[in-house]
Structure 1
């Protein structure tokens, strides 16, 4: 385990005992994050690096692939299967809405045929417009949708695919991403130099990588890669969200752009695109080791989504 360097004298003393490929500079105690979990992640990376002597630029992508494969990939496969089952069941309850609308409209029409009633004294009176027995079109639509959702909820519960389970993947994936990112950020609070890298990188005459700061030799490399992969992920997932069985066969259909579901999906895509811009800006100032983790994570997500869509095609 590496010791934290407090002053320049200790830095000179401990630098001779540090393994090749990793050097620490002066550490500022005021910038230290007092989070045990993040520090544990940083210490784990250091321990693995010391034991295996794997270069940092290889260790971080390998760690990303390992964590995503062991932790998030099973949840992704489980969620994809569950969503496909929900789509099959949703097709069974879709005809309920127009049927309920027709029944409610027939009942309303029957009640509205006679708009007058006879009082006890024999005089006819006009029924009020807000008679609770007569439904307007908005009420008919609301009751039909409510009945459809009620039956859909029962059907999902019967086949063990409730909607709340769709939140399990983000509840696992987001904390994992934040924890590893903050752990790497804690690791790079000190100067972190890497002398081990492939020969094709050595041809660029970098000398050594300062992994605790942005890549000064090519400052736009990490932001471009992070932004490009993030946009590809968002656009690919967006295309899947709006895809259908007819569109996959080359048949174009008229889409209802004004529906609430599609408006919500479009809003989610716009927020995701904005997040890509934010990540691009953050990666331009983040340590290169942290940007490397983001790049490998985005690349893994893109490949994972392509493979899952090939094995379990997502179609509305």
Structure 2
């Protein structure tokens, strides 16, 4: 009995030691990043290789420049959009200009094709449905040949979107991971003290809503300026324009619920993108790109006049 009692006493003492309160290591969860992205597809996206490369890029910019984090985010955004998206935007303008220049030739060829199809229809007794089929099929073939001849397939004009959107998502998730790192890394602590003015903590949302509201106004300005040079007569075009307007407004509460680092990046990206759009309107840029379409010699004055006429009169 004495031996049993002593054994039970030792077991109880060890159990008490094991059950003492204190910090316990948390098990690692697969597919969950340091930012607490959660499991599932979103967690996998936040823990993907492009996002980690974006994290390394942002941290590298901050370490090399020695700037505070808010300035490093602005510098990194400016460098990426200038070195990557600006050349693609210029290339998109060249492709669009070539496609527009082909419209006159396509119209003339379509009239000639219509005549040839009508002649062939009389010879072979085609119905109206067969005539339309032959006309559309041959017109598509002719247009494709023209695109190949001038190296201006319209799909090439969409390269900007296919590059800019993944880049925007990667940098946004990278900043979220750095801001919400639960392991207390050095970058997270520096982000917490790397803000300025009314947003000193970049890991917390901007409770003043200044950054989100500025983001919404900037995006709305970009949408309205873009709509001045695009036709909005059809129902589909008005639906697309109103959808972009609604998205600009929706981004305000979204930006108010994320870390200030993300809202700052979104605002900086929109401002840089808007400045690039203005730069690409310059006649000097058009001459450098050898654009064939006719442009105004005073694009900025015309843009301001168009805005005033549309919204202030």
SS of 1:95's partner is: helix
Tell me the CA shift for residue 164 of structure 1.
Answer: 2.3
Equivalent pair of 2:65/2:72 in contact (CA under 8 Å): no
> In the alignment, which of 83, 92, 107 is matched to residue 70 of structure 1?
83
| Shift in alpha-carbon separation, 1:107–1:196, aligned structure 2, 3 A | closer
Deviates more, 1:89-98 or 1:224-233: 89-98
Tell me the CA shift for residue 140 of structure 1.
Answer: 4.8
Q: Report the count of equivalent residues.
A: 245
Q: Distance in 2 between matches of 1:308 and 1:30?
A: 38
In structure 1, the partner of 2:192 is 193
Q: Distance in 1 between matches of 2:119 and 2:49?
A: 66
In structure 1, the partner of 2:230 is 241
SS of 1:210's partner is: coil
Q: Distance in 1 between matches of 2:107 and 2:137?
A: 12
In structure 2, the partner of 1:24 is none
> In the alignment, which of 195, 206, 211 is matched to residue 222 of structure 1?
211
> In the alignment, which of 152, 159, 163 is matched to residue 172 of structure 1?
163
Equivalent pair of 1:226/1:280 in contact (CA under 8 Å): yes
Q: Distance in 1 between matches of 2:236 and 2:138?
A: 22
Equivalent pair of 1:94/1:148 in contact (CA under 8 Å): no
Please, which runs of 5 or more residues in structure 1 have no aligned partner? 1-6, 9-26, 112-131, 243-254
Q: Distance in 2 between matches of 1:83 and 1:193?
A: 44
Q: Distance in 1 between matches of 2:37 and 2:242?
A: 38
SS of 1:272's partner is: helix
Tell me the CA shift for residue 227 of structure 1.
Answer: 0.9
In structure 2, the partner of 1:151 is 142
Equivalent pair of 2:195/2:202 in contact (CA under 8 Å): no
Q: Distance in 2 between matches of 1:53 and 1:283?
A: 27
In structure 1, the partner of 2:4 is none
> In the alignment, which of 216, 220, 226 is matched to residue 231 of structure 1?
220
Matched, 1:135 2:116: no
SS of 1:165's partner is: helix
In structure 2, the partner of 1:182 is 173
| Shift in alpha-carbon separation, 1:310–1:142, aligned structure 2, 3 A | farther
Matched, 1:48 2:39: no
Equivalent pair of 1:214/1:288 in contact (CA under 8 Å): yes
Equivalent pair of 2:51/2:170 in contact (CA under 8 Å): yes
In structure 1, the partner of 2:272 is 300
- TM-score norm. by structure 2 comes to 0.66
SS of 2:282's partner is: helix
| Shift in alpha-carbon separation, 1:69–1:209, aligned structure 2, 3 A | same
Please, which runs of 5 or more residues in structure 2 have no aligned partner? 1-21, 24-33, 182-187, 296-313
Tell me the CA shift for residue 176 of structure 1.
Answer: 0.9
SS of 1:74's partner is: helix
Superposed CA offset, 1:17-58 (max 9, x none): xxxxxxxxxx88685853343234224423432443311221
- TM-score norm. by structure 1 comes to 0.66
Matched, 1:91 2:104: yes
Determine which structure has greater relative contact order: mean sequence separation of CA pairs < 8 Å that are 6+ residues apart, divided by chain length. Answer: 1
| Shift in alpha-carbon separation, 1:154–1:264, aligned structure 2, 3 A | farther
Equivalent pair of 2:176/2:262 in contact (CA under 8 Å): yes
Tell me the CA shift for residue 159 of structure 1.
Answer: 1.6
Equivalent pair of 1:223/1:283 in contact (CA under 8 Å): yes
Q: Distance in 1 between matches of 2:101 and 2:37?
A: 56
SS of 2:245's partner is: helix
